[in-house]
Structure 1
Amino acid sequence: MTQILESIDKERLAVNPLLKNKSELGQFLTPSSVAKFMASLFDKKMMPDPKILDAGAGIGSLTSAFLERLVSENLSDQASVTVVEIDEVLRSRLTTTLGLFEDKLNLQKEIITEDFIEWATNALLDENSLLRSSILRFSHAILNPPYKKIASSSRHRRVLRGVGIETVNLYSAFVALTIELMEEHGQIVAIIPRSFCNGPYFRPFRQLLLEKTAIKHMHLFDSRDKAFKDDEVLQENVIMLLERGASQTQVTVSTSRDDSFADYKENCYPFEKIVQPNDSELFIHIPTSNEPSFIERFPSVHYSLKEIGVEVSTGPVVDFRVKGHLRDMPEEGTVPLFYPNHFVGTSTEWPKVMKKPNAVFVDETMKKWLYPNGYYTVVKRFSSKEEKRRIVAGVLTPESTDYSEVGFENGLNVIHYQKQGILPEMAFGLYAYLNSTEVDKYFRVFNGHTQVNATDLRTMKYPSREKLEILGRWVMANSDKIGQEEIDQKLEEIL
């Protein structure tokens, strides 16, 4: 049976260059090692006579891994398979793949050639559809859904809303629809980008997932680029086992460096460590160590930004929308426009020779986007894959420029108070806190991509205002001598 999976994997590598619509459809074919691991996660007690769904089936790698396990472990001599694949190139291979199992078990198969979102939403809306019967809902689903944003004005977005699903990406749409198509205690194994775990756009999806399923298992790859190395995928992925309608108990979290699973290890965690009680944003944390988290080590770190008297907003100047106002260097009628590259440690380098502009021309339309000059803590929204840190903070001081107003570009998060500057001690205290190693580690538990949103910063916990100001005064007095080690030591001392 292993030979079947090996031949399918060779076919995956051969067909990859033939996919003309790969970018348009968000296709990433699953390596056999990942498919086999995913199939291994299903509870074997629930495997007899399975009714399997594979949405976005590709060449059938995932379904084959499921059927291979069924046969090799003698779990069932029959199965019903529904595979959905819109791409004609892949579908021709899919038929061949399923045929490899016809003499090994009683296999009923249906190949759906429609767009999965259209097919699934129609099935859920049709009161007379056979899928409305709990008998014919799916007992198992295994999927590697496409990864592509859904435009807010698109037909996909409209038809999803018609069945009560609000989401922004094809992968979360596929998983949400699959949840709706499962029978009670039906199990889903999916490999999806980890970006759904946090941020405001995926909150409705998290709510649906947590209300209708129990999270049983999550697996992370330590190396961001190894699981789909043939496709150059840099998005951090998570493999999840979900069970529809089950009671939520503890969650198994496993890790491996790559898709060989050679260094596989796992731990179990109470659900309170995965979704923190009273978290209105429903962020999903994925701890990978039994060591106490930063928040557990320091219970005094429990304040919100609002409680310490500040706010955070995304930089309001979206440069491509105000191209006519941008200036490479300051000139009459302009004010500084700050980008992430302008902030280096506690210093602000402005103006700066770089590809981005340094200034923006001010007229009535631009004025509403400006802030008065003052002390602000800024946090980069995007970190490159080369950067060691996920959170990178800087400080703007009023001495950085002699202008009365400044602009912050959209690539920055700005910590302020009612669109005014904050106390210098607070600005530098937040700078040091956010740049600490412990905070960066803690942030990675619920953030699996290179973006830091204002909502993420709003949801995080902080020391008291008093402790942040003590930290800030220390930074102001020692800024020339402070490195990472000094910040980490001082934070531990203050907390």
Structure 2
Amino acid sequence: MLEQLDTADSVRREVAPRTAQKHKSELGQFMTPSSVARFMAGMFPPSTLQTCRLLDAGAGVGALSCAFLDRWVAGGFGFKAVEATAYEVDEKLRGHLKQHLAAYSKVKAEVIAGDYIELATAEDLQAKGYTHAILNPPYKKINSNSAHRLALRSVGIETVNLYSAFVALAVAQAAPGGQIVAIIPRSFCNGPYYRPFRDFILERAAIRHMHLFESRNKAFKDDEVLQENVIIRLERGGQQGPVTITTSTDDSFTDLATNEHLFDRIVFPDDPGRFIHVPTTTEKSAIELSPAVRYSLADLGIKVSTGPVVDFRLKEQLRDMPEEGTVPLIYPGHLSITGTVWPVPGLKKPNAIMRNAETEKWLYANGFYCVVRRFSSKEEKRRVVASVVDPAAFGDHAVLGFENHLNLFHENKRGLPELLARGLAVFLNTTAVDENFRRFNGHTQVNATDLKLMKYPSREALIELGQWVKQHSEITQEMIDEQLGKLTA
């Protein structure tokens, strides 16, 4: 028997290339390949419910609903009856969707033409009581004063993207014990903007399973999507227990690996930001195993902040090269592993910022700082790249500007003792730190919060590393890694 999903998939392959990119991006539309749809349908636990009430919001041509219903038809669930509700805003796809769902004679299907957020927030969220939801929601930012944002706020959902809004609404509409499986970008896992969404989900549901694609562009390769995606299964009102983590290189799932992790490895108990980690191995990292690495930044008396100078907001204050009344402005381009070079003619970035009443509050005292770049490209070998800012590079300037693409370690907006700054940079440049960071953070950004949550060697051990590095004119990665092994608690 030809599964209905195969029919839906051939329609997807026909429709997707014909759909204008502008139309796709207006709707945040990326259609699910059949292999991903089948995998998602397989993530639901077996069920003995008499009636299944299925939600597919942003259903496209119906691939996800078809994958779910094909599993039921093949005996994968024990439901006596299925009521399916599919929302689709795009009239070009709705005809296909209706046709695909109509092929299941035993299913009572309703296709709703319209905007899921608008329609769901206008009714009693509990009324539907969906037992299952399968989603590939649209991916598009929501403006802070848009109709979508206000509608969501009216039901207690505060979020910045359509995808997280769809998931939050599906959780809100689910019956107790309801299962929600969604493929979404990994960006919700960390950062302050998705904090209210994480709170909303973690308060109402248990995370049961997360799947990670190790190749960032393979889940939606036909659409050239560069977001890193995860598939997540949530259980409405579930008691949180261990979480299953699966990984595969791509959407063929041929090298599927499965591990189970305690929840406190997913959301660290002492993390106020409630970042969601997706560990890809059960082995503890060298950092976690090292008895010497166990201090917080607060223990060390060190703070870490994002560089406060946002260049496009202070355009009038920036100067290509230093002149009377300016102070140095430091970008990643001024820094290398070997030291600080300033100014850099032809950098394509300003080298200086005016010092005046408007800029004063953004400036730091000249001194030694350890800085870490906030952004790396996915292709770069290292995610964490630390450098030392050396005050000698800036002559007699009393203050410095740090641009927003840098994180800097400091002591109350003043520099660190030289050996501490140098030792901190050595530690952060170890392979172990980089591996530990990648394991828990899928994004290519290194945020100040990530650095705050890490553990570090003691102040004394860092100063020792600083003394060691000062005695060597050239150091290799092997030498750095070897020093970490020599640290004593």
- The question of a shared fold, defined as TM-score above 0.5 by the shorter chain, is answered with yes
Larger mean CA deviation between 306-315 and 438-447 belongs to 438-447
Q: 2:377 aligns with which of 384, 387, 395?
A: 384
Partner of 1:139: 131
Q: Which amino acid aligns with 1:142?
A: I
Q: 2:67 aligns with which of 65, 68, 82?
A: 65
Partner of 1:127: none
Hey, what's the Cα distance between the residues in 1 that align with 2:353 and 2:306? 18
Post-superposition CA distance 1:295-350 (Å, at most 9, x none): 53124423222221111111111111122222222222222211112211131122
Hey, what's the Cα distance between the residues in 2 that align with 1:241 and 1:423? 48
Q: 2:197 aligns with which of 190, 205, 209?
A: 205
Partner of 1:37: 39
Partner of 2:95: 92
Question: Following superposition of structure 1 onto structure 2, how do residues 363-378 of structure 1 map, counting pairs within 5 Å?
Answer: 363-378=356-371
**1:197 and 1:446 in contact (8 A); partners too:** no
Partner of 1:417: 411
Q: How many residues align?
A: 483
Q: 2:219 aligns with which of 212, 219, 227?
A: 227
SS in structure 2 at match of 1:239 = strand
Q: 1:80 and 2:83 equivalent?
A: yes
Partner of 1:128: none
Question: Which TM-score applies when normalising by structure 2?
Answer: 0.94
Q: 1:123 and 2:123 equivalent?
A: yes
Q: 1:348 and 2:340 equivalent?
A: yes
Hey, what's the Cα distance between the residues in 2 that align with 1:113 and 1:394? 54
Q: 1:336 and 2:328 equivalent?
A: yes
Hey, what's the Cα distance between the residues in 1 that align with 2:368 and 2:147? 45
Question: Following superposition of structure 1 onto structure 2, how do residues 219-298 of structure 1 map, counting pairs within 5 Å?
Answer: 219-298=211-290
Question: Which TM-score applies when normalising by structure 1?
Answer: 0.93
Q: Which amino acid aligns with 1:71?
A: V
Larger mean CA deviation between 393-402 and 290-299 belongs to 290-299
**1:337 and 1:406 in contact (8 A); partners too:** yes
Q: 2:436 aligns with which of 427, 430, 442?
A: 442
Larger mean CA deviation between 331-340 and 73-82 belongs to 73-82
SS in structure 1 at match of 2:219 = coil
Per-residue deviation at 1:273?
1.8
Post-superposition CA distance 1:407-436 (Å, at most 9, x none): 111111121111111111221122122222
SS in structure 1 at match of 2:47 = helix
Q: 1:318 and 2:322 equivalent?
A: no
Post-superposition CA distance 1:60-92 (Å, at most 9, x none): 111111111111235345311111121222223
Q: 1:460 and 2:447 equivalent?
A: no
Partner of 2:164: 172
Post-superposition CA distance 1:197-252 (Å, at most 9, x none): 22222222222222211111111111112111122222211111111111122111
Hey, what's the Cα distance between the residues in 1 that align with 2:475 and 2:158? 46
Hey, what's the Cα distance between the residues in 2 that align with 1:299 and 1:52? 50
**1:200 and 1:455 in contact (8 A); partners too:** no
Q: Which amino acid aligns with 2:330?
A: F
Cα 1:299–1:200 change in 2 (3 A) is: farther
**1:53 and 1:81 in contact (8 A); partners too:** yes
Hey, what's the Cα distance between the residues in 2 that align with 1:55 and 1:189? 12
Hey, what's the Cα distance between the residues in 2 that align with 1:390 and 1:80? 47
Q: Which amino acid aligns with 2:212?
A: L
Hey, what's the Cα distance between the residues in 2 that align with 1:142 and 1:299? 44
Hey, what's the Cα distance between the residues in 2 that align with 1:132 and 1:241? 20
Aligned CA RMSD, in angstroms, stands at 1.9
Partner of 2:25: 23
Hey, what's the Cα distance between the residues in 2 that align with 1:205 and 1:395? 36
Q: Which amino acid aligns with 2:95?
A: S
Q: Which amino acid aligns with 2:40?
A: M
Post-superposition CA distance 1:367-419 (Å, at most 9, x none): 22111211111111111122122222211110121122211111111211111
Post-superposition CA distance 1:126-163 (Å, at most 9, x none): xxxxx534xx4100001011222222232322222221
Q: Which amino acid aligns with 1:7?
A: T
Q: 1:7 and 2:10 equivalent?
A: no
**2:287 and 2:433 in contact (8 A); partners too:** no
**1:47 and 1:70 in contact (8 A); partners too:** no
Post-superposition CA distance 1:418-458 (Å, at most 9, x none): 11111112211221222222112222233221112112212
Q: Which amino acid aligns with 2:98?
A: T
Partner of 1:430: 424
Partner of 2:151: 159
Question: Following superposition of structure 1 onto structure 2, how do residues 48-63 of structure 1 map, counting pairs within 5 Å?
Answer: 48-63=50-65
Hey, what's the Cα distance between the residues in 1 that align with 2:151 and 2:130? 21
Cα 1:359–1:209 change in 2 (3 A) is: same
Cα 1:32–1:233 change in 2 (3 A) is: same
Post-superposition CA distance 1:28-51 (Å, at most 9, x none): 111110110000010112565311
**2:140 and 2:162 in contact (8 A); partners too:** yes
Hey, what's the Cα distance between the residues in 2 that align with 1:100 and 1:423? 72
**1:195 and 1:447 in contact (8 A); partners too:** no
Hey, what's the Cα distance between the residues in 1 that align with 2:352 and 2:2? 61
SS in structure 1 at match of 2:85 = strand
